[in-house]
Amino acid sequence: MGKDLQLLKEIKACTICQDLPLGPNPILQFSAKAKILVAGQAPGQITHHKDRPFDDASGDRLRQWLGVNRDTFYDPDKLAVVPMGFCYPGKGKSGDLAPKAICAQTWRKKILNVLPNIELTLVIGKYAMDWHLPERKEKNLTETVGNWQHYIEQDNPVLPLPHPSPRNNIWLKKNPWFEEELLKELQSKIAMVLEK
């Protein structure tokens, strides 16, 4: 078994967090061959029960944004789907709670170390931005996503995205450049990386 699969097995058996409302159930996928990293927030209740990342309305929209079908999305040799917290964290007053910080502290660097072929990282939402774009100067998520051209031109291209949740429909309406400009670039970049 390769280092990547050994690590995945270790993570799947993780029970560090004892206060998860539905108990530990790490939901992620990766292999050392993956070329695209999807860095999201944490599984929701639906994906917790389905035991598959982004197997919900948010995932349908994300796949539409990326221009990939389910077979491609769920192929760990193509896409690594590694959220900031791997287990459903529970509900707060305004939506799901933050991902467990101990999760990224424990696992994230180890995972990134076994993913040498990543050519594009999609950074979804605030928590992933805090980790993957710690030097960013923009004040908020809208400004960070609005500055996407800066991030995609780096040596290790990164693309900040809002969460694809239906909760963000108003944000999408207010920011039409996202679908008109950013998604076109994103889809051509994804196709280029996957076809190589």
Which parts of this chain interact with ligand SF4 (CB under 6 A)? 11, 14-17, 24, 26, 85-87, 100, 102-103, 106
Cβ proximity to ligand SF4: between 35 and 50 the closer is 50
Q: Per the structure block, which two tokens stand in for 56?
A: 């919900």
The CB-of-142 to ligand SF4 minimum distance in angstroms stands at 28
Q: Per the structure block, which two tokens stand in for 25?
A: 């159930």
The CB-of-45 to ligand SF4 minimum distance in angstroms stands at 15
The CB-of-24 to ligand SF4 minimum distance in angstroms stands at 4
User: 58-83 burial, b for 16+ CB within 10 Å, e for fewer?
Assistant: bbebbbebbbbeeeebbebebbbbbb
Cβ proximity to ligand SF4: between 102 and 191 the closer is 102
The CB-of-196 to ligand SF4 minimum distance in angstroms stands at 32
What's the angle, vertex CA 2, arms to CA 189 and CA 131, rounded to 5? 50
> Are the beta carbons of 194 and 72 closer than 8 angstroms?
yes
Cβ proximity to ligand SF4: between 17 and 118 the closer is 17
Cβ proximity to ligand SF4: between 16 and 118 the closer is 16
The beta strand positions in 59-154, using DSSP E, are 79-81, 91-92, 95-96, 120-124
